[in-house]
Structures are given as structure tokens and as C-alpha cells.
Structure 1
Amino acid sequence: MRFLHPDGTTVHLGYCSNVHQAEDLEGVIAQLAAYAEPVRERLDVGRLGIGLWLAHPVVSELTADQGALARLKAELRSRGLETVTLNAFPYAGFHREVVKKDVYLPDWTDEARLTYTLDCARILAELLPDDAERGSISTLPLAWRDPWPSASAEAARRALDRLSDGLAGIEDDTGRRIRVAFEPEPGCVVETTAQAVRALGGLDPDRLGVCLDACHLAVQFEHPAAALRRLADAGLPVVKLQASCAVEAEDPADPVARAALRRLAEPRFLHQTRAATSAEVLAADDLPDALDGALPADSGPWRVHFHAPLHAEPEPPLRTTADQLDQVLAGLFDGPSAVTDHIEVETYTWSVLPEPPTDLPGGIAAELAWARDRLTGLGLKEDPS
């Protein structure tokens, strides 16, 4: 789906395919038919954006076989789908029974992460629609925070310099600009926009920037307007927005709220949890830890890194941070110019909800309709083509 901002910028909206379990090319192509095309049909649009997650084995196959890449491109086109962004945060195994901190491996000290990301950039340069201005790739915020000695920080910085050079080479070869966006996430080396400014400042702003995940921003209790101003003042571009909502418990001491939170404490994904006091933000690395005493229940509201569907409320008395996402969207688009041009709805947690949906395409379509209504409410015009 495409929208036109009043300043003339084309804003791309799509959903992220990491919600689907597929780690070979056949599986990726099958998910386009089983999910993405039905989502487009539910929305009654001629073109739907899909932010592909291509696991390392898929990337290896597409890199080695130009015919496989041409096949993927043809499948996207024939189903009315377009790709301007890739999610290269998970490397592989994102739908194993237990993922947790493994999602941060390999990190940016490992040559494998650089190779994978540049391979993704080459693939995206081929998949981009002819009239797309540029492509984007989101990636992890360097690494999980511990251990992170100075030698690791130096190795990662060297890798980012090589990444920038590699992206410049791809642009020279293909004429397509691909930007890589580092995604601040609770518990990582870069958790907040302030840390992003410190860790990523001074990098090539034409090719490297930030992926702003609205769920992560809310979990860290960052104020959207202040966060966006901080990034702008530092000259750090918002390459991509991941439109997402966290789960909030206003009173985590309430037994009903704790029971509802307990039903979200599932074993596959990491659900970092934060509590806001008047003086600080307190942290637990996972929701089960918070419920077992790692966070005080009387310290203030809790926010949980559990990507909740944009359009629906969780089990009461829990709620989502959709109001925060509204503020993020306003900060990015309710001004004289668009701050970013790529939006990806990234609710990868449908399968681990207490009651998983029986109609996943319908749920994804409802999320995209929610986002469409917000964008048009901010004055953007939908491109009907």
C-alpha cells in the first residue's frame, strides 16, 4: 500500500513476513499465496507491501541462484505484492520452540552478520519496484548488552564502516540505494534513542540510520516527540518505522492483571518488561522474571515487549500502547515533511497469543486497515493503484 504525503513523499506501508514460519524458498513462496495475497484481497487493494524476512538459508539460495531470485520477484509481482524493505534482524530459527536471546546471534561483532546483511541488500536491490526511491533493511542494535567489552564495540564499529562501504558499492553496481536501520530494543547494547545517538552517531546518514519500533519505544517509556527530536538533532535518520504496540498493565499488583500477564509469559520469545517510577525505569529481562519478583508490583505501570495486534485490546485489564503509536505516527507525518517513508506492521506474536487467531490473514488485514486509517487521518492520500 502506498500513500502520498502532502510534501510529495511516497510513503510505503506493508506488513512483516516474520510472522510466518518459512526458512526455505519454497516456504517463502508458499506464504505469499497462503497469507500475503489473501491479506491484499481482504483490503481490496491492487498492491500490498510486504516486508520480507528471509532467513539465512533463503538468502544463501537467492544469492547463489539468479533464477531463484527471478522466481521470487515474479511471484511477488503476480500476486500484487511489492517489497521495499526487509527485516534482517532474525538470522534464522525465528520459529523454533525457544528463541529468546538467540535472536541476537550472530551479532555485529561476527562476520556472518555483515555478510548476511550485505547479501540481503543485494537481494533487495533486485526486488525493489522500478519506481521505488530506495530500499531499507532493519537489523539488531549491535548485540545483547552483556557481555559488551570495549573490544566488541570497536569490532562492531569497524563492521559498520564496512557495511557503509558495501552499501555504496551495491548502489554503484545497481543504481539502487539501500539503507540499513538499527533497531533499538530493550536489553540490547542500544536500548533507547539516546543510546542510538551515542552508538551510531557519526555514521554515514545516507546509508545507515535507525529503525524506530514503536513497541520498543513504549516499553522504555520514551516520549515519542522527545525521541524524534533527539534523533533529528543528531542527524540520525529514521529509515523505517515498525508500527507495533506493547502491552501495558496499569496496576501490576492487581491479581486479575497478573493472571492476564501470566498468560502472555510464553516460552518462545523474549518479553522484556519495564516499570516506570517517578525517578527511573526498572528492568526485567523477561516477563516470567518480572512476575516472579524481578520487578516490584507497586512501582508503577509495567510495559511488556509483546507485540500486540494494533487494532485489538488484550485481555482486560491489560491494554496496549496504541496511543503511543498514534503519537509516533503524528510525529513522523503530521508536519510539513515526512520524516520517514517506510512503515512495516510487525506483529510476529500472533501464534503465541493466549488464543491464536483462526483467520490470520483477516487479523493482519485489520491491522493494516487500522494503520491506513491513521495515515489518512493525518492527511496522507492513499494511492489506489
Structure 2
Amino acid sequence: MIAYCTNVHPAHDLAGILDQLDRHAVGVRERLGVDVLPLGLWMPASVARGLAADPVVRKGFRDELAARGLSVSTLNAFPYGDFHDTVVKHAVYRPDWVDPRRLAYTRDCATILADLMPSSATYGSISTLPLGWREPWTDRDDAQAEAALSELTSFLRGLDRPVRLAVEPEPGCVLDTVADAVGWLTGRVDPAHVGLCLDTCHLAVSWADPVETVELIRRSGLPVVKVQASAALEVPDPRAAREALADFAEPRYLHQVRENAPEGVLAADDLPEAFEDLPGEHPWRVHFHVPLHAVPRAGLRSTTDVLVAAVAALDEETHVEVETYTWTVLPDAGDLTEGIAAELAWAREHLTTGVAV
């Protein structure tokens, strides 16, 4: 299953979600020439609450998806509310896993997914944030987040269909790197129900070796429940490429930057801060999801090599979701439907792992 993530589409209700799918997903399916197009579905918490509460509405929504030739085996439950506000930035990490609303939202998503996923699906997956932003975070927060994940696990065990949670490390968060996530999750969660979402843009930004990272996860006993197939911007010479980077310093999303210096990886929480605070003497990687098939402008490159290497190193079946949510803020983005179709075609050609249905 190689899906595309619908968090690129703004929608505030079920009718809005279906409208966006009509405008884009159906056209993507037709361009790819497939009978059924897998989606990595995103919905805000208000929509999830209504769907989870009413099995009749869930059945109607499933029928609407089927009528359009669309299927859902994975949900993106990282953004809780409006992911397309004028300014999102740190708001995407709220509520965190200490806040009961995060548990309620994720439980609603699991209820929905158990009904939406096709009968042929091996399991359903739900990606979620890496506990929360790193500040403020205390030992008490750790304990509360662990308790919330334990409560969710008990809920997942009671579902009629297997649904697994995929915790997604991200730069700047409590679980900043895959190594952080493996260290925190191991021994705290049941790997039959909770594992990792390996976002390969985030992995690239951390400057971790993709093959060694996959081996670290394998040794931990945690599953890679889901891969978010994504690419970061790499800047070989930040000083020379500052003008090329300027258009990517947009106001909606947070674009964490890491400089690969000899003394260690240097960090900035957003691109404007990187311009001010990082020396720029060594290569940068920027948390800006760029289309998989695209060739960035001069002075920049894409980290699709990290994506390909990570996926090739996997020895287990997993869900793969193309997640380029930045189309609406990309310089010179072009037609959205054509772009998503081109990304999926690229992924089908270059990603060779076992893919769960």
C-alpha cells in the first residue's frame, strides 16, 4: 500500500473532506490508472468525534469512499485541529499526549479506521506526534503520557480489527530523533499495538544514517508500523544558497534546521532563526517536505536518497504514505492533482519494500 496523505487538503467537516477528494483524489487515481487509490486520511478532531459516535455515518462515509475508488488503511492523527490556519507553527503539537483530548482524538480515529479499512487489510495504522514539543516537558508529563498510551493500547486490544499506533519522531519534540523514540518507547509500550512512524524527512533532518537507524529499530523489537515517504531540503552551502532558501521561510509551518558541523549537529527551530543563529559553514537540512519527484532550485537538493535507503533496509511489511503537506506553501508548486500523481508514480517506481495491504 502506497497512499498519499490528505492533510494537504483543508477541510472542516465531512462534506468538505469529500469535496476535496472529488477535486483531487479521484483525479490522482485516474492519472495513475488504478482502480483503487489508497489514502492516508486526515480529519480534524471535530470530524473524528462525529464519525466515531455514529456507525451509520461511518458506513455512509465508507460507501462514499468506495464509490470514488478510494481506500483507507492508515490515518494521520498528528494534526488535531485546523492544519491550514494562517499560522500553524507550534500549534500542531497541541494537544500533546498529556492532554486528555489527544487520547480521545486518537481513540476516535481508531474506531473510525477499524470500520473504514478494507477486509483485505492486514492491519490499520495511525500516526501520532512524538508526545509533544520538548518545552515544557517534565518527568510528570512523561508518566502521564505513558499512562495515556497504555490506556489507548487497552482500547486497541478491544477493537474487532487490528489497529496500531505509529509514534512519529520529529526534530524539536520530546522524541526528537528515532533513537530518542526507541529509547523512550522500549519497555513502555506493547509492540503488538504501538510502534514507530518513520518519517524520512525528519530522519534526514537529524543527519542519522538511514540503514543504521532501521537496524536500531529492528534490534529494539519495535515495529515500523508506517513509513511517511517524505524528503527534506538539503543545502550543501548555506551561505551561497541563502537567496534560494528565502522563499521557503514561509509563515504557516515550522521548518526546523540542522547543521552538520564537525563538533556535532547544530539546531535551529525554524528557518528564519537558522539564518540568524547558525554559522552556515557546513551543510544544512531543513524540515520542509519537498515533492519526491521534484528537482529543487539551484543550490538546493532533495534527500530522497535517505528515503530510498531507509525503505530498502526494511525487512518487514509496512504502510507507506507519501506526505508532502507543503504543496500550498511551496514556491512555484504547480497543479496539485498532477503533483500528487507524479509523487505517487515516483514512489511506486523507487520504493521496493514489502508493502502491507
TM-score normalised over the length of structure 1: 0.90
Query: Which residue is equivalent to 1:190?
Result: 175
Identity %: 53
Query: Which residue is equivalent to 2:103?
Result: 114
> Which of 333, 345, 355 does residue 369 from structure 1 map onto?
345
Give, in whole Å, the separation in 2 of the partners of 1:382 and 1:118. 22
What's the CA shift for 1:72?
1.2
What's the CA shift for 1:241?
0.1
Establish whether residue 244 from structure 1 lines up as the match of residue 230 from structure 2: yes
> Which of 312, 320, 323 does residue 294 from structure 2 map onto?
312
What's the CA shift for 1:356?
2.8
Runs of 4+ that moved beyond 4 A: 379-383
Query: Which residue is equivalent to 1:81?
Result: 70
Question: What amino acid is aligned across from residue 89 of structure 2 in structure 1?
Answer: K
Establish whether residue 19 from structure 1 lines up as the match of residue 1 from structure 2: no
Establish whether residue 342 from structure 1 lines up as the match of residue 326 from structure 2: no
Give, in whole Å, the separation in 2 of the partners of 1:68 and 1:24. 13
> Which of 321, 326, 336 does residue 360 from structure 1 map onto?
336
Query: Which residue is equivalent to 2:157?
Result: 168
What's the CA shift for 1:131?
1.1
Q: Which moved more, 1:240-249 or 1:158-167?
A: 158-167
Give, in whole Å, the separation in 2 of the partners of 1:112 and 1:34. 31
Give, in whole Å, the separation in 1 of the partners of 2:9 and 2:89. 17
Please give the secondary structure, in 2, of the residue aligned with 1:51: strand
Query: Which residue is equivalent to 2:259?
Result: 275
What's the CA shift for 1:380?
6.6
| Mapping of residues 322-333 of structure 1, within 5 Å | 322-332=304-314
Question: What amino acid is aligned across from residue 215 of structure 2 in structure 1?
Answer: R
Question: What amino acid is aligned across from residue 126 of structure 1 in structure 2?
Answer: D
Gaps of 5+ in 2: none
TM-score normalised over the length of structure 2: 0.97
Give, in whole Å, the separation in 2 of the partners of 1:67 and 1:78. 17
Give, in whole Å, the separation in 2 of the partners of 1:379 and 1:197. 21
Establish whether residue 295 from structure 1 lines up as the match of residue 271 from structure 2: no
Contact 1:241 1:340 in 2 (8 A): no
Query: Which residue is equivalent to 1:253?
Result: 239
Give, in whole Å, the separation in 2 of the partners of 1:128 and 1:248. 36
CA gap 1:381/1:235 in 2 versus in 1, 3 angstroms: closer
Give, in whole Å, the separation in 1 of the partners of 2:242 and 2:349. 33
What's the CA shift for 1:181?
0.4
Contact 1:87 1:137 in 2 (8 A): yes
CA RMSD of aligned residues (A): 1.4
Question: What amino acid is aligned across from residue 236 of structure 1 in structure 2?
Answer: L
What's the CA shift for 1:382?
12
Please give the secondary structure, in 1, of the residue aligned with 2:182: helix
What's the CA shift for 1:230?
0.6
Query: Which residue is equivalent to 2:190?
Result: 204
Give, in whole Å, the separation in 2 of the partners of 1:193 and 1:345. 19
